[in-house]
Amino acid sequence: MVTIARHLNLTLVVPELDKKSFWADPSDFGEIFDVDHFINSLRDELMIVKELPLKLQLRTKKRLYSMPPVSWSNETYYLKRILPLARKHKVIHFDKSDSRLANNGLPIQLQMLRCRVNFEALRFTPQIEALGKKLVSTLQRNGQFVVLHLRYEMDMLSFSGCTHGCSSKETEELTRMRYAYPWWKEKEIDSEAKRLQGLCPLTPEEITLVLKALGFTEDTLIYIASGEIYGGERRLAALKAAYPKLVRKEKILSPDELRPFQNHSTQMAALDYMVSLASDIFIPSYDGNMARVVEGHRRYMGFRKTIVLDRKKLVELLDLFQGGALSWDEFSGAVKEAHKSRMGQPTERKIIPGQPKEEDYFYANPQECLGSNGGLRDVS
């Protein structure tokens, strides 16, 4: 949105966040991000205001022109289609803002600005930063640590239709939930077919085998970044048995320290984001938005190690191993081989013309912004 506003020479109003979806998080943008830093650090690029001027507030109370921009659009679309609307209506409200700008084919200056916004202008509030730093320093005192971004929350499983490893009662519960949310368009989902295509998050039990196969020993300190795991402690039993040094923010911080963040899932996720960024190795079990942005941010910080799991290959290997067709050594060797080039090292973003949802996400690998050691490269 910043990049689009800059390109069209428009003023941006600090974003409002969705508070109606599954999470029902009442947090405002300013309760997650440092708004003054956001505005001031981009002052040389565009004007950002906290709210509309009074005259425009009165005008928009009568009628606000609201629309979703077309997904994955390039800069020409915004110049030719959106700018005339902004001039006509004076204020234009985007009611959807995710994935509205193309991954590829944009001028280098716009791509660089996207990086500057995401990795430098967006800073968490002082309260989140202070607690996040405490989490990180506590973990670092114990040596190296791995962050496992374990996407196995109820909403993720319901939305994706992935029920492998769930009981029939749990599957019914997840299906009921999917039908209850009208904005989740896909209702009838073949869980096993989706899993075999690599489109499901790995289960905690599957992740345990994968970590062992990759060579992580039982004394590895693992921080779990996630919301509430569906199935609770029962589903984490195998992971805990294999890795006794398994921790979460709730185990490191006191209830008093976490109390201000309770019932604010986005602020809790911000803490996990900080720990994920600082970890020695980051392993996401699913490629949602947070996992992708952390991956890209870690590249930006000097290509820190991120193991991007090949879920399609892993599901195939897991089924062969658990079915007795592969020995442990064969399974472990195949898992290691499949991930040799998936460790967050410099690589070209995969481009698929006409299929933006299938290609690599810009923020996961913002190659235009990366020098040989990561960081914002000089294009002056």
pLDDT, tens digit, for every residue of 75-125?
999 999 999 999 999 999 999 898 999 999 999 999 999 999 999 999 999
9-13, 17-21, 154-158: least confident range: 17-21
Residue 237 sits in the same domain as residue 346 = yes
Q: What is the CATH number of the domain that holds 326?
A: 3.40.50
What confidence score (pLDDT) does residue 11 get?
A: 98
Q: In this structure, are 179 and 209 located in the same domain?
A: no
Q: Are residues 57 and 138 in the same domain?
A: no
Domain identity same for 236 and 297: yes
Residues 354 and 252 in one domain: yes
Predicted local confidence at residue 188, as pLDDT? 85
- Calpha distance 289→286 (Å, rounded): 9
Q: Hey, what amino acid is at 294?
A: V
Query: Are 140 and 189 members of one domain?
Result: no
* Average pLDDT value for the chain: 93
Q: Cβ(309)–Cβ(336) under 8 Å?
A: no
Q: Are 207 and 355 in the same domain?
A: yes
Burial class (CB in 10 A: 0-12, 13-18, 19+), 279: buried
Model confidence at 373, pLDDT cuts 50, 70, 90, reads low
Q: Are residues 223 and 95 in the same domain?
A: no
Number of domains in the chain: 3
> Which of the listed residues 73, 101, 120 is the one where a domain comes to its end?
120
Considering only the C-alpha atoms of the chain, give the largest distance between any 2 of them, rounded to a whole number of Å. Answer: 72
56 with 35, same domain: the answer is yes
Q: Are residues 135 and 256 in the same domain?
A: yes
Note whether residue 246 is domain-resident.
yes
Is 380 inside any structural domain? no
Same domain, 251 and 311: yes
Q: Is residue 4 part of a domain?
A: yes
Domain assignment present for residue 220? The answer is yes
Say whether 129 sits in a helix, a strand or coil: helix
Is 202 within the bounds of a domain? yes
**pLDDT tens track for 193-248:** 999 999 999 999 999 999 999 999 999 999 999 988 998 899 999 999 999 999 99
SS (HEC) of 169-221: HHHHHHHHHHHHCCCCCCCCCCHHHHHHCCCCCCCHHHHHHHHHHCCCCCCCC
**Same domain (yes/no): 142, 186:** no
Residue 378 lies in a domain: no
Residue 380, pLDDT above cutoff 60: no
Identify whether 47 is part of a domain: yes
Q: Whole domain around residue 355: which residue ranges?
A: 126-156+198-369
| Residue 376, in any domain of the structure | no
Which residue matches tokens 């320290």? Answer: 257
